[in-house]
Chains A and B, each alone.
Chain A
Amino acid sequence: MIVGDALAAWLADRDAQRNSHRGVEASANRWGLHPLMTQLKRELTELPDKTPEAILAAARHFIDKTDDIEALVADLIASGRSDPFFSPPFHPVSSEIHSGLMLFTSEELLLAFGVSGVEMLAAKKAGKRGATSIGFSGQLTAFRYVKAGGATMSFWEMPPIGENFIAAEAGVPRLVERRQLRDGEEIVVDGRYQSFIIEHAYSDMVYFQALVRTGTAPVAVEYDSKTLDFVSASGAEETSARVQMMVSLLRAMDRDDAFPIIEKTLNTPYFHARWHIMREMLALDAEASLPALRRMAEGDSHPEIRAAAQQTLDLFFSEEIPAGEEAVPCRA
Chain B
Amino acid sequence: MKKKIDIAAIPELATSVGMHGSMKQKEVGGPLCLGAAVAVFLALPW
A, B in one complex: yes
Q: Which residues of A contact B (CB under 8 A)?
A: 25, 28-29, 32, 89-93, 95, 97-98, 102, 105, 110, 112, 114, 116, 121, 124-125, 130-135, 137, 139, 141, 153, 165-168, 189, 191, 195-198, 209, 211, 218-220, 222, 224-225, 231-238, 240-241, 244, 251, 256, 271-272, 275, 279-280, 282-288, 302, 304-305, 307-308, 311-312, 315-316
- The residue in chain B whose Cβ has the minimal distance to the Cβ of A290 is B3
On chain A, the residues within 8 Å of B19 by CB distance are 234-235, 241, 244
- The answer on a CB contact under 8 Å between B20 and A91 is no
Please tell me if the beta carbons of A219 and B17 are within 8 angstroms of each other in the complex. yes
Chain B residues with CB under 8 Å of chain A are 2-7, 9-38, 40-42, 44-46
B7 touches A133 (CB 8 A): no
Among B29, B34, B37, chain A packs the most CB atoms within 10 A around the CB of: B29
Across the A-B interface, give the 10 residue pairs with the lowest CB-CB distance, nearest first. A198-B29, A241-B20, A272-B17, A234-B18, A91-B41, A133-B25, A235-B20, A283-B7, A137-B31, A167-B15
- Indicate which residue in A196, A225, A285 contacts B2 across the interface (CB closer than 8 Å): A285
Nearest-CB residue, chain B, relative to A244: B19
- Taking a contact as CB atoms closer than 8 A, the residue among A166, A197, A256 that contacts B28 in the complex is A197
For the residues of A in contact with B, the DSSP-based class is mixed
User: Contacts of A288 on B, CB cut-off 8 Å?
Assistant: 2
| Contacting pair A282 B37 (CB below 8 A) | no
Residues of B within 8 A of A244 (CB): 19
**Which chain B residue lies CB-closest to A251?**
B7
A117 to B3, CA, bound (A): 57
**Residues of chain A contacted by B10 (CB below 8 angstroms):** 279, 282-283, 312
Residues of A within 8 A of B35 (CB): 110, 211, 237-238
Q: Which residues of B contact A131 (CB under 8 A)?
A: 25
16 contacts between A and B (CB under 8 A): A28-B46, A95-B32, A102-B34, A131-B25, A132-B28, A141-B31, A165-B15, A209-B34, A211-B34, A232-B24, A235-B21, A238-B38, A240-B20, A272-B17, A283-B10, A285-B2
Given contacts A133-B24, A137-B33, A233-B15, 15 further A-B contacts (CB under 8 A): A89-B44, A93-B34, A93-B37, A97-B29, A133-B26, A197-B29, A219-B17, A234-B18, A237-B35, A241-B20, A272-B15, A275-B12, A279-B7, A279-B10, A316-B5
Docked-complex contact B37 and A102, CB < 8 angstroms: yes
Contact assessment for B16 and A232 in the assembled complex, using a CB-CB cutoff below 8 Å: yes
Nearest A residue to B31 via CB reads A137
Q: Which residue of A lies closest to B2 (CB)?
A: A285
- Report how far A225 CA is from B23 CA in the complex, Å: 13
Assess the B20–A236 pair: CB atoms within 8 A: yes
- Closest chain-B Cβ to A282's Cβ sits at a distance in Å of 5
8 Å CB contact of A167 from B6, B16, B40: B16
Report how far A197 CA is from B21 CA in the complex, Å. Answer: 18
Q: How far is the CA of A100 from the CA of B3 in the complex (A)?
A: 51
From B9, B12, B15, name the one whose CB has the most chain A CB atoms within 10 angstroms: B15
Assembled-state Cα–Cα distance A133/B23 (Å): 9
Kindly report which residue of chain B lies nearest to residue A310, judged by CB atoms: B11
CB distance from A214 to the nearest CB of B (A): 13
Q: Tell me the bound Cα distance from A141 to B40 in angstroms.
A: 21
Q: Cβ of B5 and Cβ of A282 under 8 Å apart?
A: yes
B15 with A280: CB separation less than 8 A:
no
Report how far A102 CA is from B36 CA in the complex, Å.
Answer: 11
* Other-chain contact of B20, A165, A225, A234, A251 (Cβ < 8 Å): A234
Give CA–CA (A121, B29) in the complex, Å: 8
Q: Which residues of B contact A240 (CB under 8 A)?
A: 20
